[in-house]
C-alpha cells in the first residue's frame, strides 16, 4: 500500500534553513506528482508547489518562491523540501502529498521556528 514517511519534528532558529524529507513506497515514485502543503497552527491549507520526480520538473506557488526548494532522489524514492530564511511565520506542519488529485497525504512534519 502507499506509504509516505516524513522526517521528524524540527526546532530551528530564525534565519536558518531546514530540509524535510518524504520517503515514498508502495507505488511508482517517478510516475506521480508530489505536492507540498503547509498548515499553519489553527489555519487551513496552502499549496507550496509540486515536483515530478521522473524528470525533476517543479512548479511553485509564487508566494513560496525563494522560500521553498523542492527536490527528489529517484534512487531512494525520497522527496525533499528545503525552507530557507526561516521566520516565525514558517512555523507550521508541512505535508507531502502524492498524486495529482492530492491522493495520499503523509503524516506531516512540524517545524517550529524559535530562538
Q: Which residues make up the interface to another protein (CB under 8 A)?
A: 35, 44-47, 59, 61-63, 95, 99-108
Q: How far is the CB of 45 from another protein (least distance, A)?
A: 4
- Tell me how many helices (H) and strands (E) the chain has: 0, 11
Measured between alpha carbons, how far is 73 from 65 in angstroms, rounded to an integer?
21
CB of 105 to another protein, least distance (A): 4
Give min distance, CB of 103 to another protein, in A. 5
Beta-strand runs (E) in 18-91: 18-25, 34-39, 45-52, 57-60, 68-73, 78-83
Select 19 or 59, whichever has its Cβ closest to another protein: 59
Cβ distance to another protein smaller for residue 54 or 108: 108
Amino acid at each position: 500500500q502507499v506509504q509516505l514517511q516524513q522526517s521528524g519534528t524540527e526546532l530551528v532558529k530564525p534565519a536558518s534553513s531546514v530540509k524535510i524529507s518524504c520517503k515514498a513506497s508502495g507505488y511508482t515514485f517517478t510516475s506521480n506528482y508530489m505536492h507540498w502543503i503547509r498548515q499553519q497552527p489553527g489555519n487551513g491549507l496552502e499549496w507550496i508547489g509540486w515536483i515530478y520526480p521522473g524528470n525533476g520538473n517543479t512548479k511553485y506557488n509564487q508566494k513560496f518562491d525563494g522560500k521553498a526548494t523542492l527536490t527528489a532522489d529517484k534512487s531512494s524514492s525520497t522527496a525533499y523540501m528545503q525552507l530557507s530564511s526561516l521566520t516565525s511565520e514558517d512555523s507550521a506542519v508541512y505535508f507531502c502529498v502524492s498524486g495529482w488529485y492530492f491522493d495520499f497525504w503523509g503524516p506531516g512534519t512540524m517545524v517550529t521556528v524559535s530562538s
